[in-house]
Amino acid sequence: MATQAATSISIQHDGEPKANAIRERLDAVVGKGQRTYTPSQVTVKSAKGSYLWTVDDRKLVDFTSGVLVANLGHDHPRFEELCREYADGLPRNAYNMVAEIEVIAAERLLKSMAATNPKAEKLFWAASGSEGIQKAMWAAQHKAPERQILLATRYGFHGKKGLAGDVTGAESLNPNVRFVSFPMKEEKPQSFYQDELDAFAEEFDGQIALLITEPYLGAAGSFHPPKWYHQMLQAWCEQHGVVLIFDEVQACHGRTGNMYAYESYEVQPDLVVLGKGIANGEPAAAVIGRADLIDAMGYGEASDTFSGNPRACAAICAVLDVFEEEGVIDKARAAARDIGERLCALPDAFPFVKTVRGEGLVYGIEIENAELANRCVLEAYYGTGDAGVHLLGPLAGTVLRVSPPLLISESEIAEAFAIIEQAWARI
């Protein structure tokens, strides 16, 4: 039986003596604001490939990849080997120094976009997605300081800090932020969105610095728009001299079935922000785009302690190597077809599954209500006893995120769905 820690009471599960003890100690020393509520509160001992092992020796299929981070899976041998090789002998921090690995990582990331986005000319590093978003927005603001207005697509999630927090959601304390509609459940014609944009262009003629959007709404519950939507945003931005920022913090590096989500939506943003899977778990992010925007910031204006450190850059190179050596995109597409078919069968099998939305290897399963959604996470975790499936706590209250490592195998997928089917039959 799980209990959500309202005060100091730890989440506890029957038959998990080691995990329960650790959870109690955690509550004594780490504020609960540090975690996003997940009823299972998996207490992990080790991780390998698509699997996690708990401290009480249960085996879980990881349907989260951390939080869309471990795209290559956990403890990937070649990735780990390459990280060691690239970082061998380098200091962990090279603030106000130059290590060649930084240059190599930048050149390789730019090259990874060269064929699909000619605007990928230069970059900034960041140590987290929200810092990357902040730097991308700063660049646009520095380029055109007379433009005060910041447009964002509504219900996006760009992070909790600074400007990233200001453009997240549907309301902002920043008086310069305005939101435009993003297609979700409602079926509105293209003209509805176009009219809204045009009204902003008229009201704030020459005052709009940037438009920031997620390729698909992630945290808001997995809403994946038609291609025309992003193409319309891009055309409108070009027409009005507005910088288009694509937040690919969670969508980059193969999640949507292409290396970059802007390829899936057939657009070429001015700035693309990458995070999470870019370094398979090493904290790293990057803002990539037009050189005139990146160069709008002078010495020190985008610097900080951890961005672009040698180990992050080594991990970025190692990820790109493994993508090439192991054909990760092709494997991800095959896994995506398999998972997509199995997920789409869930609404027929379970009455509490309302609908399934997604693309590539990022899906949302919408459950009837929040209570049942949490129960689904828990039952998947309890699984068949020794084995379970690890899911994130529900997004937007009722949506279960499915985002396994891109290299998950056919047999691992089959195993996970067999566990889920048995577990959810108890609901």
Ligand X SMILES: Cc1ncc(COP(=O)(O)O)c(C=O)c1O
Q: Where along the sequence are the contacts to ligand X (CB under 6 A)?
A: 128-130, 133, 157-159, 214, 218-219, 247, 249-250, 275
Shortest reach from residue 170's CB to ligand X, in Å = 16
At CB < 8 A and 24+ separation, what contacts does 22-30 make?
22/55
How big, in percent rounded to 5, are the helix, strand and coil portions of the chain?
40, 20, 40
CB 285 → ligand X: shortest distance, Å? Answer: 6
Tokens of 237: 């931005």
- Residue 372 neighbours by CB distance under 10 Å: 18
Minimum distance from residue 401 beta carbon to ligand X (Å):
10
Instruction: Name the minimum Å distance from CB 72 to ligand X.
Output: 18
CB 44 within 8 A of CB 18: no
CA of residue 331 relative to chain centroid, distance: 19
Closest CA to 262 of 236, 221, 290, 229: 229
Give the C-alpha separation, 40 to 56, whole Å.
13
**Least distance from C-beta 131 to ligand X, angstroms?**
7
Alpha helices (runs of H) in 123-189, residue ranges in sequence order = 129-143, 162-166
- Residue 211's DSSP bridge partners are 151, 244
Residue 59 main-chain phi, psi, to 5 deg: -110, 130
Smaller CB distance to ligand X: residue 234 or 403?
403
CB of 411 to ligand X, least distance (A): 29
Residue 133 CB, nearest approach to ligand X (Å): 6
Q: Which is nearer to ligand X, 72 or 362 (CB)?
A: 362
Report the C-alpha gap between 261 and 248 in whole angstroms: 7
- C-alpha–C-alpha distance, residues 397 and 354, integer Å: 14
Cα Dmax for the chain: 63
Closest distance to ligand X from the beta carbon of 217 (Å): 9
- DSSP strand pairing (208-213 vs 243-248): parallel
Instruction: Choose between 220 and 387: whose C-beta lies nearer to ligand X.
Output: 220
Closer residue to ligand X (CB): 144 or 377: 377
Q: Which is nearer to ligand X, 225 or 275 (CB)?
A: 275
Rounded to a whole number of angstroms, the minimum distance from the CB of residue 284 to ligand X is 10
Quote the tokens at residue 52: 């996690």
Q: Are 41 and 60 in contact (CB under 8 A)?
A: no
Phi/psi of residue 171, each to 5°?
-140, 150
74 secondary structure, DSSP code: B
Residue with Cβ nearer ligand X (16 or 214): 214
Total number of residues shown for the chain: 427
Q: Map residue 123 onto helix, strand or coil.
A: strand
CB of 249 to ligand X, least distance (A): 3
All residues at 6 or more sequence positions from 28 whose CB lies less than 8 Å from its CB, including other chains: 8
